[in-house]
Structure 1
């Protein structure tokens, strides 16, 4: 009897969190289907380069790189609108200007279509609720609601679980787990501003550096 291959569609930005989530799925015995989005974000070229390198490292056979011009036309985020500065002071109130409206909802919807086509039982996403930037589309109850909606809107025989293995971890715990799993952290990128050397002062760089410091680990990427 032929063994059924377990597949996980992994939404992979090239960042540390989504990369760790993909490594965790591989450890659980899933064949990884990598999905990456180019949405005219400031560090699009670097993120794509990281995604390709990480897929090679994980020996991903099937991958999708999807181009979306929607977010650039929409604007409303410092990541996609060059007229809005990426904040570097670290003192933003409320939802940051780097929030991209409903991004994870759109990404999950597209990943669901891929999962149904590929016969995957899992979509993995590296959302972090407790120690993140405060994005509303990274909340556990929101992702659970998306899972219900996806299963209502797909074929009866389609049953997809959205795994979010990092949702309750702090950044330092993510760094430690990545080290434990042998994640190629030097291939990951978190900076919102730069593509050559990370700025070290944007919200994402601050969270990353703080996580490495608290974990007692040296970040292998280059900073300005």
Structure 2
């Protein structure tokens, strides 16, 4: 009997790595999807490859360029990255690191891959609690996308799974530890240097999660 199959959107960061191992723990055959879209922190793609290999996932690596994405400071290196106090992250307006339609594009690619390979779920590491204020990380966005996937594919009821959407970063760290995620292989920093900068929103949220979980970050 064929194993059930899952597509996991794998950036190489803490959240997507946890989703990869969440799907693995449920017995899914793993199809990992990694996307190079011009992000300044392309080092995360190296982490995605290493994580997929460790989990026994088949990696589908895509690369594309959409000129309008350079309105985001994650793509346009001439735009400064935010440097907010931790208490201010996720408050106020949508930050400059928001990439227009990124999660819409990636989730659509995941649904397309799932439809092609016969996967029953697309697993996305979206998080609506400890996040930077992105509109496409909200639960209602993924509920709506599940309806799109149901109506627009030949496969029966492809589900969009968001196992982290209601968890804070500390809970995600604890979940990753339980699942045996090789956290040393993950990369979260927006700057993409040799070592995490410790100053960007993503580094600060990650540090908060490990601190509140009472454990050291092995990637540092």
Q: TM-score if structure 2 supplies the norm length?
A: 0.95
Determine the structure 2 residue equivalent to 1:50.
Answer: 47
Identify the residue that residue 22 of structure 1 maps to in structure 2: 20
SS at match of 2:215: coil
1:120 matched to which residue of 2? 119
Q: Distance in 2 between matches of 1:128 and 1:29?
A: 23
Structure 2 distance, partners of 1:135, 1:154, is 27
- Indicate yes or no: 2:88 matched with 1:75: no
Unmatched tracts of structure 1, length 5 or more: none
Question: 2:83–2:201: 8 Å Cα contact kept in structure 1?
Answer: yes
Secondary structure at the residue paired with 1:14?
coil
Alignment of structure 1 residues 182-221 onto 2, 5 Å: 182-221=180-219
TM-score (norm 1): 0.93
For 2:106 and 2:38, locate their aligned partners in 1 and report how far apart those are by CA, in whole Å: 14
Give, in angstroms, the shift of residue 73 of structure 1. Answer: 4.0
Once residues 192 and 152 of structure 2 are traced to their aligned partners in structure 1, the CA distance between those partners, rounded to angstroms, is: 39
**Matched residue SS, 1:154:** coil
Q: Distance in 1 between matches of 2:193 and 2:148?
A: 36
1:78-117 aligned at under 5 Å gives the runs 78-90=73-85, 91=88, 93-117=92-116
Contact 2:49–2:59 (CA<8 Å) still a contact in 1?
no
Deviant stretches of 4+, over 4 Å: none
1:142 lines up with 2:141 in the alignment: yes
Whether the 8 Å contact between 1:116 and 1:158 is mirrored in structure 2 is: no
Contact 2:69 2:99 in 1 (8 A): no
Which residue number corresponds to residue 129 of structure 1? 128
